[in-house]
């Protein structure tokens, strides 16, 4: 069952289209991430779903009911803001109980519900502690507990982890995801962090300039982006301008030709037309798909000679930047796979044809 549906939703601020003609269906019980750079419209879209902004046109339906003009306080949605917005003069328990108090829930039921939620977020021993004395991760958990205290049908998260340090942020990604799965609550989260979206989401909505660029499962978007923008925004990728001959061969910068195996219906931007000879296209290959071979091995069409000009060594993995005379490639490998890799070393960068994706060039 699809709980939330957006139909041609647009939000204008003067002449600026912050959100432009968005159609979207959010499945019941899933965690969906709105992902994109700053200013792409993802927070504005979330605020319209919450009832904090009004669409200039279009409609929003939830569970078969038109809620486009329904006030925020009547939508029965929980929301966690970027700032968390906890009440500093209240204790942990008082913060969690606040939405129940507003709904005039009986005191005994409030007490039981708060106790349940503090157990759920593993903070029962801090019920009477002021929130000002909590760590960042603990405050984050309290904000989520407060958002779900009244058992909302939809949970909205507006970049809730942006203020946390990197290690705590990664730990909280897992905690929130596990909590969402345990509760089975439909959740929409806004983020500009593609790693965060890949970690947490059942489905990612990539946004660009107020429009939806692509919707899909995290690995589908990573492996089969429909455009240069999506490919560049989701993960690290080598993106090269190429000329396609229409018969499975592309010309790289500098004139080198390599074989590719494009899908018969490889999509180009929104048109979703097959790749054709003469199209303005790009070749995408992810760093982990490039095999770094010794220069002494036999070269062939898809093994490009090059020189290692930079190495990022983080212990368990290596990222090597390879100058291929006319362009550079970044390859991800490990010390075990490429022992002795060093700056200035001549190598062969092997680009498997099946890993070479043809995508639409970025439009102006």
Which residues are bridge partners to 312 per DSSP?
Answer: 319
Rg of the chain in Å (alpha carbons): 24
Three-state SS for 245? coil
Question: How confident is residue 279, by pLDDT bands cut at 50, 70 and 90?
Answer: low
Say if 2-222 and 287-352 have the same CATH topology. no
Give pLDDT, residue 2. Answer: 57
CATH of domain 2-222: 3.40.50.300
Give pLDDT, residue 263. Answer: 55
Looking up tokens 């519900």, which residue turns up? 113
Segment among 191-205, 269-283, 295-309 with least mean pLDDT: 269-283
For range 19-47, the mean pLDDT: 95
Non-local (6+) Cβ contacts of 160 within 8 A are 80, 81, 82, 84, 140, 143, 144, 176, 189
In whole numbers, what is the pLDDT of the chain averaged over residues? 90
Of 205, 121, 199, 189, residue with least CA distance to 166 = 199
Question: How confident is residue 269, by pLDDT bands cut at 50, 70 and 90?
Answer: very low
Cβ 360 vs Cβ 227: under 8 Å: yes
- Domain residues of the chain, as ranges? 2-222, 238-285+355-360, 287-352
Question: How confident is residue 264, by pLDDT bands cut at 50, 70 and 90?
Answer: very low
Find the helix packing angle between 92-102 and 136-148, rounded to 10°: 20
Looking up tokens 């002021």, which residue turns up? 130
**Rounded to whole angstroms, how far apart are CA atoms 298 and 319?**
23
Q: Is residue 251 classed exposed, middle or buried when 0-12, 13-18 and 19+ CB atoms within 10 A define those classes?
A: middle
Q: Is the pLDDT of residue 17 over 50?
A: yes
287-352 classified as CATH 2.40.50.100 = yes
Give pLDDT, residue 276. Answer: 52
Pick the residue with more confidence: 359 or 322?
322
Alpha helices in the chain (DSSP H): 42-50, 92-102, 107-120, 136-148, 166-183, 194-200, 218-223, 228-233
Which residues are bridge partners to 358 per DSSP?
Answer: 283
For range 7-28, the mean pLDDT: 95
For range 19-46, the mean pLDDT: 95
Cβ 279 vs Cβ 245: under 8 Å: no
Three-state SS for 283? strand
**Rounded to whole angstroms, how far apart are CA atoms 175 and 239?**
34
For range 24-49, the mean pLDDT: 95
Question: How confident is residue 347, by pLDDT bands cut at 50, 70 and 90?
Answer: very high
- Reported pTM: 0.88
Query: E-strand spans in 231-280?
Result: 238-244, 249-251, 257-259
Distance, CA of 133 to chain centre: 32
User: What is the per-residue pLDDT across 73-124, written as a single tens digit (0 to 9) for each?
Assistant: 899 899 998 888 899 999 999 999 999 998 999 999 999 999 999 998 889 9
Distance, CA of 80 to chain centre: 18
Three-state SS for 54? coil
Of 346, 310, 357, 353, residue with least CA distance to 330 = 310
Give pLDDT, residue 272. Answer: 43
Bridge pairing between strands 281-285 and 318-323:
unpaired
Give pLDDT, residue 122. Answer: 87
């Amino acid at each position: 069952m699809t709980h939330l549906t957006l139909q041609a939703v647009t939000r204008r601020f003067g002449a600026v289209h912050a959100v432009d003609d968005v159609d979207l269906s959010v499945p019941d019980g899933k965690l969906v991430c709105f992902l994109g750079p700053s200013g792409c419209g993802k927070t504005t879209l979330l605020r319209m779903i919450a009832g904090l902004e009004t669409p200039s046109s279009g409609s929003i339906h939830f569970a078969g009911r038109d809620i486009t003009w329904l006030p925020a306080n009547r939508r029965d949605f929980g929301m966690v803001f970027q700032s968390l917005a906890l009440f500093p003069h209240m204790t942990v328990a008082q913060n969690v109980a606040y939405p129940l108090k507003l709904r005039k829930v009986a005191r005994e039921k409030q007490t039981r519900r708060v106790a349940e939620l503090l157990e759920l977020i593993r903070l029962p021993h801090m019920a009477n502690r002021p929130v000002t004395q909590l760590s960042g991760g603990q405050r984050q958990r309290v904000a989520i507990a407060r958002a779900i205290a009244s058992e909302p049908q939809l949970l909205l998260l507006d970049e809730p982890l942006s203020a946390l340090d990197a290690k705590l942020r990664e730990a909280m990604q897992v905690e929130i995801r596990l909590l969402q799965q345990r509760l089975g609550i439909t959740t929409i989260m806004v983020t500009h962090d593609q790693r965060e979206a890949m970690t947490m989401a059942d489905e990612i909505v990539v946004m660009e300039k107020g429009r939806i660029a692509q919707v899909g499962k995290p690995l589908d978007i990573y492996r089969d982006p429909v455009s240069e923008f999506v490919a560049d925004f989701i993960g690290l990728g080598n993106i090269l301008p190429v000329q396609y001959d229409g018969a499975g061969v592309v010309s790289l910068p500098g004139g080198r030709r390599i074989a590719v195996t494009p899908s018969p219906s490889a999509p180009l931007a929104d048109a979703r037309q097959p790749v054709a000879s003469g199209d303005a296209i790009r070749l995408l290959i992810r760093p982990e798909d490039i095999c770094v071979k010794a220069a002494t091995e036999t070269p062939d069409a898809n093994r490009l000679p090059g020189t290692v000009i930079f190495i990022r060594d983080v212990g368990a993995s290596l990222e090597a930047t390879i100058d291929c005379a006319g362009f550079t490639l970044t390859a991800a490998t490990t010390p075990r796979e490429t022992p002795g890799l060093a700056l200035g070393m001549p190598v062969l960068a092997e680009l498997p044809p099946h890993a070479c994706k043809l995508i639409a060039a970025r439009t102006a």
